[in-house]
Copies of this chain bind each other. A is one copy, B any other.
Amino acid sequence: MVKHMKAPIIAINYKAYYPYSFGKHAIRIAEAAIKVWEETGARIILAPPFTELRAIVKTVSDTPIKVFAQHADPIKPGAHTGFIPLEGLKDTGIHGVIINHSEHRLKLADINWLIHRAHEIDLEVLVCADVPETGAAAAVLAPDYVAVEPPELIGTGISVSKAKPEIITGSVNLIRRVNEKVTILTGAGISRGEDVEAAIKLGTSGVLVASAIVKSENPYHVIRDMAISGLRALQG
């Protein structure tokens, strides 16, 4: 493994593609991530569906790759059929949770509650937001990561870093006014290394990416391209 002072963050949201996000397909993506981490030192986060959390945690257990749930329900453990409290997610061995994704928006009060409760049990929290303003509002609540993703570009292959660079610079500016520490990511339409490079040059620490990796015939190549481009941007 090549060590880097700084390395780009690549957070991979598996979403709910079938069969890509499930079973052996889910593990194959994790194995590709391990290989890229070994070669580049990229900081990778994997967010598979709830059903795959234990298998992915096991797959990456000897690496610094982190596993996040895609969502967390704002409930305490108890009589909640079909919901999973943070304690139950933590029990799978994961390191954190994504919350408030544009496909799973949460109420403001619940975002706050989840951040507090997650931190109490040593889980990291990555909050998604749709525009710089809501990114800053989320940042006030002191999560570990904020990822600003314009919903209109999600899944389009048109990357935010090219199509709307002002969303990224605006996010960095607004978020930094209220929170100096939170790690800032961006996403939506990220599909190539150059999108990651642009995102980092605009002031983020990395990207949140989904279909470009999860539905790829060769996830290893895509993750590697993104990792190398991200490193280049950080060193440049």
Contacts and interface: CB of A to CB of B under 8 A. Distances in A.
A71 B82 contact: yes
Interface in A80-117: 80-85, 87-89, 91-92, 98, 100-112
A21 interface: yes
Contacts of A225: none
B140 A81 contact: no
Interface size, A (range): 35 or more
Interface stretch (A51-59, A195-203, A227-235): A51-59
Contacts of A154: 79
Given A104-B81, A107-B108, A108-B107, A92 B51 contact: yes
Copies of this chain in the oligomer = 4
Nearest to A100: B108
A138 interface: yes
Given A15-B78, A137-B137, A178-B178, A50 B84 contact: yes
A89 B22 CA distance: 9
Interface of A: 13, 15-19, 21-23, 49-51, 53-55, 69-71, 75, 77-85, 87-89, 91-92, 98, 100-112, 129-131, 133-134, 136-138, 140-142, 154-155, 174, 177-178, 210-211
B79 A210 contact: yes
B80 A16 contact: yes
A64 B134 CA distance: 33
A88 B137 contact: no
B16 A51 contact: no
Contacts of A78: 15-17
Contact of A88 (B18, B69, B71, B80): B18
A130 B109 CA distance: 7
B84 A49 contact: yes
A13 B81 CA distance: 8
A107 B109 contact: no
Contacts of A71: 81-83
Contacts of A50: 49-51, 82, 84
